[in-house]
Structure 1
Amino acid sequence: MSLVSAFVPIWILTAVGYAACRWGLLGEAAAVLGRFVFQLAMPSALFLALARMPLSGFAGGSLLAFGVSTVAVVGFGWLGASRLFGREPDERPIWGTAAGYVNSANLGIPIATQVLGDVSFLAAVVLLQVLVVAPVIVVVLDRRSDPAGRVRVRRIASLPVRNPVILASLLGVACSAAGLRLPSAAAASLTLLAGAAVPAALVALGASLHRTAPSPAEPGGPAPPAELAGPAELAVITALKLVAQPIIAYVAGLALHLSAPQLLAVVVCAGLPTAQNTFIYGQEYGVGEAVANRAVVVTTTLSMLTLATAAALLG
């Protein structure tokens, strides 16, 4: 199967989820399906991938190239939000996260499984984001939301155990480090759950695109709130996320002399759309929610084409 044709099942299952939600076939089950993916299927897939990966797989140029692209794009978005569009200081972290924090779980696992053949590198990306990037974002948002500028250390420290994806990733690393093997019954059960992750995630993704699609404004109606991202702002976020970040990752990968398969993995992971966590952070702290929501919808929709293009060029 060619790299581009590997995207066909992804497009089909996403379209199935969108159509099922549009025609009312899922109803409230759409939200339940999303929770099943996040709470059970995705953690199982990541745990198995990390538990079977030697610790040496977490180091190396591939992760460094991805990290360079993330820092560059998040940093540019963070600073550019105020200088280009007059965003307030509280909104800048959300703007930067929308530009450079990739959807490594809900869409990353299906893409990695279908296009790359495994989720080993993606698992390392998940750890980098949730253990390094996310805490930085949350600490800044937490400090800005507190009148005295304090950081709730207990809340930040408990982040890994409150998120099943992070917790499963950490447990997988611990099993890998200790050389532990699961009992056959437990491994078989987790394998069944992990097998449901890809199709269920894609159907849930399609359903979410229908539920979160912004409705068009009424002609002659009131102007949208100032917080909403205008076309120019969304265009910049989308260009940073889907074009600039994979290009930076590619250039960094070339400088680090990565092999062709490693370059493909780095570019595909860097080209994933804005993570839904961006909206969750904005909602939690009451800043940049509309910007994050629209960035997730637009980049997720367009990434189906940009990722296929990147795979075709590198393939």
Structure 2
Amino acid sequence: MLSAFIPIWLLTALGYLTARFNLVGAGAADVEAVLGRFVFRVAMPASLFGMLARSDLHALANTSIVAFGVSSLACCGLGLALGTRVFKRDVSNGAVVGMASGYVNSANLGIPVAIQVLGNAVFLSTVILFNTVLVTPIVLTLMGLRGEASPGMRQRLRSIALLPVHNPIIIASALGALVSGTHFHVPADVSSALSLLGGAAVPIALITLGMSLRVDKAAAPVLGEERTKKSLLAETTISIALKTALQPVLAYLLAYYVLDLPAHDVLAVTLCAALPTAQNVFIYASEYALDTVFARNAVIFSTVASMAGLWTVAALLK
């Protein structure tokens, strides 16, 4: 299982060293921003479109994904509530906290872990589908609410309704789902080009994450307000606890006691729920000029904490 984490640490370290030794020039902050926008607006939409176009959307209609989905949405909702009510964030930044608290790294980390522990990544494909079709559009819509101050309820509702239309990830996901639902065959050359482009999303996102460890963001105050280190530490700790502890426990209780799933399915649900926060949280926060410091810390430290959680789940349930 440890081998699944090594590529993540290596690419993150490469990003840090790139900024540390100015391998891309003195404007490392600008490079980081450009790479983040490339991932959000080009590479990730290509990856999600290709994945959904090849997926069977009927896979969402199974009992196991109910246990995982409820645990994920519950932790996301709890993180959002704590972020907005306790730590006094706006809804957009609260959505960053919510996503960090319940959105799992199901692709580049989840797949190798699932293969090692479960023997295959069948359930992981359903988790990826759930995150892409349901969780991502909701979170991105909430993040996009920042700056929406249209006068009048009708205008505000119209602005909110149009937010997904301007988001390349949501657009690509919707098109991919449409292709899957209509059984349209994407030409092989187009599919190959999209696969190559989509393959750049994860490594560049991790390099961008690593660069953010070095780039000085003090000159650009987060959220337009000063947040103390103590407050940020408390918020990060709570988010990591929700993601790496509460979510797998909740998933296990639902799978075992409520839905009475077979032992292997209980293991699959609990293992996937114990995965750490996805690096997508950092990319999305960067795109919307939200709290990237919190997002970065949540991704890195939840990945560290999840190593113990994943080992515990495998040891107790396998």
Percent of pairs with identical residues: 32
**Residue pair 1:274, 1:296 contacting (<8 A) in 2 also:** no
Match of 1:295 in 2: 294
Deviation at 1:165, TM superposition (A): 1.4
Cα distance per residue 1:53-92 (max 9 Å; x no partner): 112112333443343224433443454457655x3xxx36
- 2:269 maps to 1:268: no
Match of 2:17 in 1: 19
**Residue pair 1:63, 1:125 contacting (<8 A) in 2 also:** no
Once residues 110 and 4 of structure 1 are traced to their aligned partners in structure 2, the CA distance between those partners, rounded to angstroms, is 13
Cα distance per residue 1:14-63 (max 9 Å; x no partner): 11111111211133433332222222221122111111111211233344
Cα RMSD of the aligned pairs, angstroms, is: 3.6
Match of 2:222 in 1: none
Once residues 68 and 183 of structure 1 are traced to their aligned partners in structure 2, the CA distance between those partners, rounded to angstroms, is 37
Count residues with an aligned counterpart. 291
Deviation at 1:187, TM superposition (A): 1.1
Aligned pairs for 1:41-56 (under 5 A) are 41-56=43-58
Match of 1:9 in 2: 7
Match of 1:64 in 2: 66
Amino acid at match of 1:190: L
- 2:177 maps to 1:173: yes
Please report the TM-score for the alignment, with normalisation by the length of structure 1: 0.75
Q: 1:124 to 1:79 in 2, by over 3 A?
A: closer
Please report the TM-score for the alignment, with normalisation by the length of structure 2: 0.74
3-state SS of paired residue (1:76): helix
3-state SS of paired residue (2:23): coil
Once residues 235 and 132 of structure 1 are traced to their aligned partners in structure 2, the CA distance between those partners, rounded to angstroms, is 24
Q: 1:52 to 1:212 in 2, by over 3 A?
A: farther
Single out whichever of 164-173 and 57-66 deviates more from structure 2: 57-66
Deviation at 1:168, TM superposition (A): 1.2
**Residue pair 2:96, 2:281 contacting (<8 A) in 1 also:** yes
Unaligned runs of 5+ in 1: 216-223, 284-288
Amino acid at match of 1:239: A
Q: 1:268 to 1:165 in 2, by over 3 A?
A: same
3-state SS of paired residue (2:215): helix
Unaligned runs of 5+ in 2: 116-120, 220-224
Match of 2:255 in 1: 253
- 2:303 maps to 1:304: yes
Cα distance per residue 1:233-271 (max 9 Å; x no partner): 4433343344333432343333432343343234326x4
Match of 1:211 among 215, 221, 231: 215
Once residues 151 and 268 of structure 1 are traced to their aligned partners in structure 2, the CA distance between those partners, rounded to angstroms, is 40
Amino acid at match of 1:41: A
Deviation at 1:314, TM superposition (A): 3.1
- 2:158 maps to 1:160: no
Single out whichever of 120-129 and 6-15 deviates more from structure 2: 120-129
**Residue pair 1:249, 1:266 contacting (<8 A) in 2 also:** yes
